[in-house]
Amino acid sequence: MAVRVATERDLPRVLEIERASFPNPWPEPLLRGHLGEGGFLVYEDDETGEVVGYIIAGLRIPSFFERLERRTRALVGLPVDPDGRRGHIMNFAVDPRRRGRGVGEALLREGLEYLRVLGAETAELEVRADNRAAIKLYEKHGFRVKERLPGYYGPGQDGLLMVKPLKPLKPESGPETGVLP
Ligand SMILES: CC(C)(COP(=O)(O)OP(=O)(O)OC[C@H]1O[C@@H](n2cnc3c(N)ncnc32)[C@H](O)[C@@H]1OP(=O)(O)O)[C@@H](O)C(=O)NCCC(=O)NCCS
């Protein structure tokens, strides 16, 4: 198996899988906009060289409203979550003909590893509340439901916000002083 960073040449296959996987697929320009990012990964079949799945992971940039909410909570003395680096799985799919053979797991592992390298303390994602296969996969990899998101995917189509804490790459070692104990 080969999980590698996506390139321009992978885009047609990614788009094909995207359209076969989601009722509201991302348009081509949105996928293209993530090219060049280290967290846009594809799984290439060793034997055929065909791309059979992809994942897009990156750091979540807090929205204006999230930052405003944090400031307001702090101002009125309400508890504010620690502002750790939050990783985000933005998109993720496997060719329907190649599902159930570990491709999704391999991509998820590499996507999470990339987020750890970026220093993310948590990984989060949104998933349709009725997407049993994906929810099972996420639970198997330590994600837990943090919140239900009513109507997130449209009227009557709820989402779930799932979160997983990420282990830091190395244990904290403290400042180096050069002084031997
Ligand atoms: C979710 C998805 C990426 C999984 O990819 P995959 O290659 O089929 O997954 P894997 O073969 O690596 O499966 C690993 C684990 O996922 C879970 N899983 C996968 N398919 C499942 C199914 N049909 N039913 C229940 N659990 C399933 C299981 O926990 C499985 O582990 P196990 O084999 O030990 O039981 C794939 O189903 C997909 O592309 N779905 C459509 C797009 C999508 O929903 N993306 C996620 C958006 S949030």
pLDDT at 21 > cutoff 70: yes
pLDDT at residue number 178: 44
Q: Is the C-beta atom of 93 inside 6 A of ligand 1?
A: yes
Atom of ligand 1 nearest to the CA of 128: 48
In the structure, what pLDDT confidence band is assigned to residue 181 with cuts at 50, 70 and 90?
very low
pLDDT at residue number 82: 62
Alpha helices in the chain (DSSP H): 11-21, 28-32, 64-75, 103-117, 132-140
Give distance in angstroms: CA of 103 to centre of ligand 1: 9
Give the Cα separation of 91 and 89 in Å (integer).
6
pTM of the prediction? 0.88
pLDDT at residue number 69: 86
pLDDT tens sequence across 57-89: 999 877 788 788 888 988 898 887 665 789 999
Domains and CATH numbers, the chain: 2-165 (3.40.630.30)
